[in-house]
Amino acid sequence: MTAQRWGPVILRDRRLKISRLEELNDPFELLGASIGEAQMRWIMETLHEHWSETLGMICLSDNWQSPVMWAHYAEKHHGVCFGFDVSDRPELINKMDYTPDRLRHALQHTDRLLGVNEALLVQILRTKYVDWSYEHEYRLFTNLKDREPDGNYYFDFGPDVELREVILGARCELTAQLMASEIKNSPAPVEIFKARPAFDSFRIVRDEKVPAITVDAS
């Protein structure tokens, strides 16, 4: 999920950078609904502007073994993947839905906001184009507040997002010993291990030749 130089920093600070809408790599983010009708386009543009200022997200996956994910989001396998236990509270974590077509809803011109309701907004927040389905994405949405001096927003590790694994990329030069030294006061054990390309499939797997380290809970 990150270039290797940020791995120790994230462990030391025990927090993740929150992604903002304009920082994401898909121009259709939060625009899953069809906006061919002018009034719907106005509503979605207004919501998009509001979400850009108020809504942040942590993007997660349920599959660390995808070589494509390592290539796209971990500095071409030089980076680090963090594994978390995440609360399954529906108001916290959302599984993304992938579809080949934009969502289509008939506008109700006699209703408030033309019939755009909370259920539709949640559906829009969870919808992406089917070509992104390889990501197996889950999203943790959070409000943007307490901006740091560096201009970013952060989400602290805690009971809802608990670090349990640190996986070093196949080309990562960091050592398990170094990463273990950065883990302080963890409420749960954290396992650190190395990854490598599999010998008989297109998957990333554990490198059993490199000893894993488990940092015990404090």
Nearest alpha-carbon partner for 24 in 104, 129, 166, 161:
129
Distance CA 163, CA 83 (A): 6
Reported confidence tier of residue 206, pLDDT bands at 50, 70, 90: very high
Distance CA 70, CA 72 (A): 6
pLDDT digits (tens, 9 = 90+) for 46-90: 888 888 899 999 999 999 999 999 999 999 999 999 999 998 887
pLDDT digits (tens, 9 = 90+) for 1-16: 666 788 899 999 999 9
Name which residue leads in pLDDT, 27 or 213. 213
**What pLDDT, on the 0 to 100 scale, is given for residue 115?**
64
**What pLDDT, on the 0 to 100 scale, is given for residue 136?**
96
State whether the Cα torsion 81-139-99-62 is positive or negative: positive
SS3 letters across 99-167: ECCCECCCCCCCCHHHHCCHHHHHHHHCEEEHHHHHHCEEEEEEECCCCCCCCCCEEECECCEEEEEEE
Whether the Cβ atoms of residue 54 and residue 22 lie closer than 8 Å to each other = no
**What pLDDT, on the 0 to 100 scale, is given for residue 108?**
58
Reported confidence tier of residue 202, pLDDT bands at 50, 70, 90: very high
Average per-residue pLDDT in the chain?
88
DSSP calls for 58-107: EEEES-S--HHHHHHHTTTTTSEEEEEEE---TTTEEE-EEESS-B----
pLDDT above 90 covers a percentage of the chain that reads 61
pLDDT digits (tens, 9 = 90+) for 84-135: 999 888 778 889 999 998 877 655 555 666 667 777 778 888 899 999 999 9
Q: What is the mean predicted confidence (pLDDT) over 171-188? A: 93
